[in-house]
Structure 1
Amino acid sequence: MSDVAVVTGAAGGIGEAAARRLAASGARCVLVDRDPRVEDVAAAIGGEAVVGDVTDPEVSQRAVVAAGDRLDLLVLNAGTNSVDKDPATLDLGRYQAVVGVNQHSVVYGLRAALPVMRRQGGGSIVVTASFASLRGVEQDPIYTMTKHAVIGLVRALSGPLAREHIRFSAVCPGLVDTPLTAAGRDRFRAAGISMLTAAEVAASVEQLLRTGEPGTELVLHAGRAPAPYVVAPIP
């Protein structure tokens, strides 16, 4: 029986690359994005699209319903940057949107998917985190906060879920050449900063889904082999 996968943020970038890779391996994919172009990606890989904003919990429910009776693989990838650097001048609407996409939608995805995975006896979940989940990035403190929250969730839930035969882990890439980083691409290159490709990250996503150890925080550097992050003991 072919695997069934749900991938969020799948209209482009890492999400699209992961969906294409999973479909190529035989999985039936449900792709989620607020960008209607996700319908073109779904059509190209023989999948199904759910167009909607993942900050709405109902969108995650719709995606799981579209998956049908099974849900083997879940990629919680949707994410966005923040332009607000100073909390004193923070635009609350933008703040709530960023937290909604990067943090709340991960919880909404789990809320929708876990009942199905539990009924079938297992599954595998990967969330797209970031270097910013493991260190402070002063260029985007709000994004950093949300990604730290995601890693905290992985650390807290991966053990309990593993006991239910559900793997829960994260990829933590550095800069990735996607539409999200397009505005700074020339600046990064001029500074000699190497960028990962979406395809490289997608390969690690699939590896974690298929064979990764629960709770893995897989750090991805351009030009280096992926390596799990080792959490230091509390002194």
Structure 2
Amino acid sequence: MLLVWHSRAAPMRPRARLLATETAAVFELRVNLGQGGGMVEGELQAFFSKSELLTVRYPVPVELRVRPERGVLRVYETGYGLREGDVLRACSTFEMRFDSAARETRLGPGFHGRPNGDAIAQGGGRGAASSIPWLEGGWWREQLSRTVGLREPQNLPELGVFSETAPTKVLFVADGQSFERVRDALLANVPDKTDNVVMLFERPLDPKATRPRDLSSPRPRVPPKGESFSPLTADDLRDLFGEKG
């Protein structure tokens, strides 16, 4: 199945840095979700041994020529700032969105931006998930359990309605997610909710770099600061990329 939106506008390309370490290539993220969604800052481990991370912002609706291939969504036609072979890693979406598997609108996964967009403090030597004071104490779990997109109900007798805020934007990371979940996250960006969508694509720079660097001894991915992914096992990676054991 192909995802196709349409836009004639050229994408913007905010700065994205590639940090080389002794064990892996790590991208440093600073993604502005827009429309009050705040700034998501963190790190993301590269899929490929030699690649770069592109951050693009498109007006909605947009034409995205991608298709599922070996567990990821790959661009199949060059255009709009993207090249054939680019891999979708993440996109902005709404926390409350339609789940096609459950056939209902429900709370979906995603990383919240910091409301004021300030730089997040680093350090402490306790790892990314515990070194940020504003995310300590289970803050993000409280966010997942709350009603998304609504303030505490406030009766307005003179109007006879309840106060409501804009839907909550999050950064959805596509790693290890099913095609249906990625599609749902992308298609949640509709014109009546937002005027733009941010997407992160990883572009392999080596023509032979068609798979992760080492399936036999995978290294845990570095999550966005403040929240964590479960490290992928060798079996997980084989399933994700269609490798035979």
TM-score (norm 2): 0.23
Higher helix share: 1
Bigger radius of gyration among the two: 2
TM-score (norm 1): 0.23
Higher RCO (C-alpha 8 Å, min separation 6) = 2
